[in-house]
Structure 1
């Protein structure tokens, strides 16, 4: 019998999405007919009624990197620093998509992940818009179902032990920690507003995550859910996640300058949209996008546009 959390994740991933996004997911999978396994739609565009002018976010799950890219260096890059990110256009919509293997998607949603980038996103709402077959669908669902318990397991030891903590407090603290573990172009408080948009959803998913953790570990004398890590161990783990997350953000930015046509313009658009800045890209930065992107970082960090 499936767990309560798995049932919630299954239903949410299967919920209706904008038909144009669904068509885009199918077209994206068709670009990789030999290795595409699933396509997931996530991010703020899920809540938008009009997708025109927005940048949609997809994850393309593949069976194998080498088979996906052939002899190209892209397969090695995807394996060494997952994911690769590419632009995509279909029927007037624009998107970016990240490529992960099934194995990496499962690992990066679990506590075994060495960075927060995947499980932090899939602890939030998403849609599974395309799957090759039922096995691919079930594997994608199982991977996503790990995300909320991962967030809770790593967040709970970071909370004060002498304070009454609610489920939504765990989510908000967890998202704050994850935002601090990456270079994010977001306004201050964005990590809290994620939960405030749909508190009922996060209450239900949070309680289901706690139930699953309790079933795996048992409960204490007062019915409390035990922590897997001590506060000291958890703090050390988050320090590692922050260090690695910041480094990976820069490495992925550098990699995207080779895989993503117009990547520096997208970077400026993203930062301006989320941080309220007015960054203008100069011609020389488009000509040398890697150098241009790197030269933006100190100014953005000083100004708080990315954190």
Structure 2
């Protein structure tokens, strides 16, 4: 018998991770006493055996932004353009972490989100490395369990009608759309390689997501999973997500120039690593990181390094 999506998500989030990443997550939570609720580890570093020299990716989930920052402008910035992103070093490892409230994390993992940033990432494997208590763990599982149905409900209507398609086809089409809905420094074909790296995982989670959608919406007229949107409405929604995602990426980049020391160097490192470019940051761009980052964008679009 197939497992439910929530069960699969809970089991995957509980899988072991590198002990150094676990220690780092606990140290990160300790920086926000009274506010930290959960720390999730995601991204390409999950698949790496040696974390030295890599930039780890975390999401820090907090009870609310005022509890995390007090009356600082950071609380307003996090609420206005979530998430805030900061660098963090611990025990020889480096990372960046994004801060979201429990409420925003739940919303941004669902289909109602106005951008793909969170649910596109948490439709992929992640680990829950730290939680404040059982209630925090359950909320994290519930939020992450919304990510794949969001991806599938937006992708199913845009697949060619009257054709047989597999779960992998849904995943690859959906991921390709999410990569076009952000400024992403990734090589062509990345959306395909993600699925091909672990087809068994994506088949199981895809089947469970389809079951969840059918349970929530009812079975379609032909006994299949019904579409949440018409093809035209889904295409319109993807266009809105793409437009908003590009602007949000720029806005977050601008915000990070105030919250992320050395942010422009990280941006160059990330693009070079994923797109195979050789960007070198000039001294003036480090002095004026916001202006420097913006001046990179036209060349990156022309080269295809950022799509």
Q: In the alignment, what sits opposite 2:256?
A: 256
Q: Indicate the residue corresponding to 1:144 in structure 2.
A: 144
Deviation, structure 1 residue 118: 0.1
The equivalences for 1:1-307 within 5 A come to 4-307=4-307
| CA distance, structure 1, for counterparts of residue 132 and residue 221 of structure 2 | 46
Deviation at 1:221, TM superposition (A): 4.0
Structure 2 distance, partners of 1:288, 1:305, is: 22
- Alpha-carbon spacing, 1:221–1:236, altered in 2? closer, same or farther (3 Å): closer
CA distance in 1, matches of 2:224, 2:64: 42
For 2:53 and 2:129, the matched residues in 1 are separated by 21
Tell me, in whole angstroms, the C-alpha distance in 2 between the residues paired with 1:262 and 1:221: 55
| Distance apart, 1:114 and its partner CA | 0.2
How much is the aligned-residue C-alpha RMSD, in angstroms? 1.0
Cα distance, 1:216 vs. partner?
A: 1.3
CA distance in 2, matches of 1:207, 1:86: 36
> How many Å separate the matches in 2 of 1:165 and 1:218?
21
Q: 1 CA distance for matches of 2:108 and 2:222?
A: 33
| Cα distance between partner residues in 1 of 2:216 and 2:63 | 30
Q: Per-residue deviation at 1:75?
A: 0.5
Range moving further from structure 2, 165-174 or 66-75: 66-75
Shift of 1:224: 1.1
SS at the partner of 1:223? coil
How far off is 1:34 after superposition?
Answer: 1.5
Q: After TM superposition, give the deviation of residue 188 of structure 1 in Å.
A: 0.5
Deviation, 1:248, is 0.2
Tell me the secondary structure at the aligned position of residue 68 of structure 1.
helix
Separation in structure 1 between the aligned mates of residue 216 and residue 102 of structure 2, nearest angstrom: 24
Question: Following the alignment from structure 1 to structure 2, what is the Cα–Cα distance between the partners of residues 130 and 192?
Answer: 31
Per-residue deviation, 1:256: 0.3
Q: 1 CA distance for matches of 2:221 and 2:173?
A: 25
* TM-score where L is the length of structure 2: 0.99
The alpha carbon displacement at 1:220 in A equals 2.6
**Alpha-carbon distance between aligned partners in 2 of 1:254 and 1:191, rounded to the nearest angstrom:** 27
How far residue 222 of structure 1 moved from its aligned partner, in angstroms, is 3.0
Aligned pairs, number:
306
3-state DSSP of counterpart to 1:203: helix
User: Displacement, 1:273?
Assistant: 0.2
